[in-house]
Amino acid sequence: MILCKSILELKNLLNSAHHNGKSIGLVPTMGALHEGHASLITACHKENDLTVVSIFVNPTQFGPNEDYEKYPRNLTKDCQTADTAGADIIFSPKPKELYPSNDMTWVEVTGNIVKVLCGRTRPIHFRGVATIITKLFHIINPDKAYFGQKDAQQVEVLKKMVKDLFFPVQLRIMPIIRESDGLAKSSRNTYLTSEQRKAAVVLYKSLQYAKKLFTVGERRPQTLISAVTSMIAAEPLSHIDYVELYGLPGLVPVPTTITQPVLLAVAVKFGETRLIDNIILEAE
Ligand code: PAF
């Protein structure tokens, strides 16, 4: 595995791969790699000749009071994890390499898709994600790019961006990887105290409860939202940011009865740590 820090070095490495018709897969990450990321890297390794993993804590997707400074960074450990999972190249540039000028060019998806869910409390987040992913796509020119379903809104935003801007890349969306008690793997789980960690399992339990209701025929969005909200609110350490339900694709509003696949998504704070999780509900 090769660790590469500059765009020029990376392009030189990829030139011959492109030239020889080798397929290139990209797994964009912000590091702090866990089994969720490893599953994306392994899938990428299986489906492509060359697997590039980017490790870059992207400053433009963090709001002023968010955790950019304290976001966990451990390049040595991340390189080991990525190598074991099947990475061929790690691209880990400094911020100046990807943002050489303070006068920014942005890529911004607009509309409901970025205003709902996390967009309400993180108004600049998806502009930062769309911009950095555009830069990575242009530098690497991957055939396929891998993202986790845990960041469901990010997935919808990037699908729209790829479609609207005609990016010649296939997005591969991989299932959520969970701890044995159901908590979705996340780099931010490390911020939780042991009490908060125990309490956080309520996210998974409440989504499973909603799935059960849906399976036995419940199709009223508000009933599903209320069931999840009450269950999470009953956990004293939780502070709900949102429990919302939108139609797929595109996070469209759902009328009084569910007739299409929907995303039921939650964001909940435990102390200062904000966790997200979701489930797709779809009639069989
Ligand atoms: O999902 C993430 O870790 C980030 O949002 C991403 C896609 C790597 C962009 O910085």
pLDDT tens-digit series, residues 129-163: 999 999 999 999 999 999 999 999 999 999 999 99
The CATH number linked to 221 is: 3.30.1300.10
Q: How many domains does the chain have?
A: 2
pLDDT tens-digit series, residues 1-36: 999 999 999 999 999 999 999 999 999 999 999 999
Question: Is residue 179 a part of any domain in this protein?
Answer: no
**Is the distance from the beta carbon of residue 61 to the nearest atom of ligand 1 less than 6 Å?**
yes
**Which domain does 126 fall in, by range?**
2-174
Which SS3 state, helix, strand or coil, does residue 84 take? helix
**Is the distance from the beta carbon of residue 132 to the nearest atom of ligand 1 less than 6 Å?**
yes
Please report, as a single letter, which amino acid is at residue 34.
H
- Side by side, which strands form the sheet with 144-148? 2-4, 89-91, 50-55, 24-29, 144-148, 170-174
* Beta bridge partner(s), residue 279: 264
Atom of ligand 1 nearest to the CA of 187: 3
pLDDT interval class at 56 (50, 70, 90): very high
**Is the distance from the beta carbon of residue 129 to the nearest atom of ligand 1 less than 6 Å?**
yes
Q: Please, what is the average pLDDT of the chain?
A: 97
pLDDT interval class at 205 (50, 70, 90): very high
Please report, as a single letter, which amino acid is at residue 84.
T
**Is the distance from the beta carbon of residue 29 to the nearest atom of ligand 1 less than 6 Å?**
yes
Query: How far is ligand 1, taken at its centre, from the CA of residue 218, in Å?
Result: 34
* Beta bridge partner(s), residue 174: 148
For residues 80 and 50, state if they share a domain: yes
Query: How far is ligand 1, taken at its centre, from the CA of residue 57, in Å?
Result: 8
Among 41, 121, 128, smallest CA distance to 81 is for 41
Question: Is residue 86 a part of any domain in this protein?
Answer: yes
Closest C-alpha residue for ligand 1 atom 9: 129
**Is the distance from the beta carbon of residue 238 to the nearest atom of ligand 1 less than 6 Å?**
no
Question: Is residue 46 a part of any domain in this protein?
Answer: yes
Distance (Å, whole) CA 89 – CA 17: 12
Calculate what percentage of the chain has a pLDDT beyond 70: 100
Query: How far is ligand 1, taken at its centre, from the CA of residue 29, in Å?
Result: 5
Residues labelled as active-site residues: 37
Query: How far is ligand 1, taken at its centre, from the CA of residue 148, in Å?
Result: 10
pLDDT at 284 over 90: no
**Is the distance from the beta carbon of residue 224 to the nearest atom of ligand 1 less than 6 Å?**
no
For residues 9 and 124, state if they share a domain: yes
For residues 142 and 217, state if they share a domain: no
pTM to 2 decimal places: 0.97
pLDDT tens-digit series, residues 115-131: 999 999 999 999 999 99
Question: Is residue 181 a part of any domain in this protein?
Answer: no
Question: Is residue 131 a part of any domain in this protein?
Answer: yes
pLDDT interval class at 83 (50, 70, 90): very high
Atom of ligand 1 nearest to the CA of 29: 8
* Residue 174: Cβ within 10 Å count: 19
* Beta bridge partner(s), residue 55: 29
How many CA atoms does the CB half-sphere of 135 hold within 13 Å?
A: 21
Task: Give phi and psi for 97, each to the nearest 5.
Answer: -70, -40
Question: Is residue 41 a part of any domain in this protein?
Answer: yes
For residues 119 and 141, state if they share a domain: yes
Distance (Å, whole) CA 186 – CA 183: 9
Query: How far is ligand 1, taken at its centre, from the CA of residue 256, in Å?
Result: 34
Closest C-alpha residue for ligand 1 atom 1: 29
pLDDT tens-digit series, residues 228-250: 999 999 999 999 999 999 999 99
Distance (Å, whole) CA 58 – CA 124: 12
Is the CA virtual torsion 154, 156, 160, 162 positive or negative?
Answer: positive
For residues 41 and 122, state if they share a domain: yes
Assigned token pair, 111: 């509309």
274 vs 62, 225, 226, CA distance in Å? Answer: 13, 19, 20
For residues 159 and 99, state if they share a domain: yes
